[in-house]
Amino acid sequence: MSHATAHQSGQRPFRLMPARVGVYAFLLSAALFFLLPLYIMLVTSFKTMDEIRLGNIFALPIQVTVEPWVTAWTSACTGVSCDGIRGGFMNSVFIVIPSTLFPILLGALNGYALSFWRPRGSNLLFGILMMGAFIPAQVMMFPLVRILATLGLFSSLPGIVLIHIIFSMPVMTLLFRNYYLSIPQELFKAARIDGGGFLRIFLQLMLPMSTPIIIVAAIMQITGVWNDYILGLVFAGRDNLPMTVQLNNVINTTTGTRLYNVNMAATILTSLVPLTVYFVSGRWFVRGIAAGAVKG
């Protein structure tokens, strides 16, 4: 296409400007920075230990084997137990599901109340909630251990779920409050004129309109709870240890030969759920943020 034709059709001719080259170079460098460790982990997990000892970590496997994956899942030692990380996977699932559903529901209710009903002292309450988002978890660890022990919930599944609900409330409330602030007040007033009460308006009007921000909150909560280590280690108890804690036990074991291929396979298996969530629903995350998650 000639320059004259390009100008007539309203298209700007493509020019390789220095700034554009710099942007592409930065993006390529960033992609390599994050993808190279994943590549090394992946190829190492399919190698035998004899091949790993040759020292060429960037080379593709000469003889592909899935035995490290089977070992990581079924028979890798996580401390005194050698049942693999499959038990930790189920523990993580049992922790993640209620730790995602309850915070989203409570955060949506808090955000709805603080956006439309504005009780007395709502701004102060919102400020106190936001302060909780900036307090390190380690500061509250010991008091929470004492409280849960007093309630009989320490080292139990309900206990770790309750901890995740507590720590997620500030962020969930902020997300839903800012999203509801972007909804026209006229909709709420019309529902009030029609006789709608607090729960009826929330369940029949606001919640069905909250799909974009619910997806954002679910992505954040699933990945955050699944990747958590310190809270699961302290509060879950020996019978409910999440996958991340068992992965740490597999990698840091000091008995026998260090099986790097098994360690890499176990690491990828542990990160498979958050990676899948990001790849499958990443575009929904962007849409939800754009729909008002950071507005207000």
Tell the burial category of 178 from Cβ atoms under 10 Å away from its Cβ (0-12, 13-18, 19+).
Answer: middle
Structure tokens at 173: 């409330």
Q: Using CA atoms, how far apart are residues 73 and 264, in angstroms rounded to an integer? A: 12
Domains of the chain, with CATH numbers? 86-249+267-293 (1.10.3720.10)
3-class DSSP state of 69: helix
Q: Which whole-number Å values give the CA distances from 44 to 32, 34, 71, 119, in the listed order? A: 18, 17, 14, 57
Helices and strands, number each (H, E), in the chain: 14, 0
Torsion on CA atoms 252, 253, 258, 264, rounded to nearest 10: -50
Task: Give the per-residue pLDDT at 124.
Answer: 81
Task: Give the per-residue pLDDT at 105.
Answer: 95
Task: Give the per-residue pLDDT at 296.
Answer: 43
Residue 165 contacts residue 106 (beta carbons within 8 Å): yes
0.85 cut: is pTM over it? no
DSSP 273: H
pLDDT in tens, 209-249: 888 899 889 999 999 999 999 999 999 988 899 999 999 88
Q: Using CA atoms, how far apart are residues 34 and 30, in angstroms rounded to an integer? A: 6
Structure tokens at 14: 């493509």
Q: What is the DSSP string of 143-158?
A: HHHHHHHHHT-TTSHH
**Token pair 């102060």 in the structure block, residue:** 124
Task: Give the per-residue pLDDT at 294.
Answer: 44
List, run by run, the mean pLDDT of 10-residue segments along the chain (296 residues): 50 68 88 90 93 89 92 84 87 95 94 83 77 81 92 93 93 90 87 87 90 89 93 91 90 76 93 86 69 48
Amino acid at residue number 257? T
